[in-house]
Amino acid sequence: MDMNRPRVGLALSGGGARGLAHIGVLKTFERWGVPIDCLAGASMGGILAAAYAAGHSPEVLEAVAVRMSRLRRLVRLVDLRRPRRGLLSGDKLRAFLAQYLPPELTFRDLRRPLALKAVDLGTGLEVALSDGSVLDAALATSAFPGVLPPVVIDGRCLVDGGVLDNLPTDLLRALGAERIIAVDVSSDSCPEDDWNPLQSSGPMPDFVEMALNAVGVMVVAQTRARLRADPPDLIVRPRLPHDISTFSSFTRAAEIIRRGEEAAELALSHASMSPELESVLALPLAA
Note the pLDDT of residue 275: 72
- Compute the average pLDDT of residues 93-122: 97
Q: What is the rounded CA–CA span in Å between residue 38 and residue 273?
A: 24
Computed over every residue of the chain, the mean pLDDT equals 85
28, 264 in Cβ contact below 8 A? yes
Note the pLDDT of residue 147: 84
Strands (E) across 85-203 are located at 114-120, 126-129, 151-153, 156-160, 179-183
pLDDT at 180 over 70: yes
pLDDT at 50 over 80: yes
pLDDT digits over 256-270, tens only?
A: 999 999 999 999 998
Give counts: helices (H), strands (E), the chain: 10, 8
pLDDT at 74 over 90: no
pLDDT at 144 over 80: yes
Strands (E) across 19-91 are located at 38-41
Note the pLDDT of residue 193: 40
In which band, very low, low, confident or very high, does the pLDDT at 213 lie, cut at 50, 70 and 90?
Answer: low
Catalytic amino acids? 43, 160
Indicate the angle between helix axes 44-53 and 21-32, nearest 10 degrees: 40
Q: What is the rounded CA–CA span in Å between residue 229 and residue 138?
A: 27
- Compute the average pLDDT of residues 45-58: 98
Q: What is the rounded CA–CA span in Å between residue 14 and residue 148?
A: 15
CATH fold label, 8-274: Cytosolic phospholipase A2 catalytic domain (3.40.1090)
In which band, very low, low, confident or very high, does the pLDDT at 279 lie, cut at 50, 70 and 90?
Answer: low
Which comes out higher in pLDDT, residue 230 or 75?
230
Alpha-carbon 218 to chain mean position: 17
Residue (of 172, 157, 226, 205) closest to 37 by Cα position: 172
- Give the DSSP H/E element, type plus range, for residue 224: helix 206-229
Which comes out higher in pLDDT, residue 275 or 147?
147
Pairing of strands 114-120, 156-160: antiparallel
Q: What is the rounded CA–CA span in Å between residue 223 and residue 53?
A: 24
- Compute the average pLDDT of residues 70-99: 72
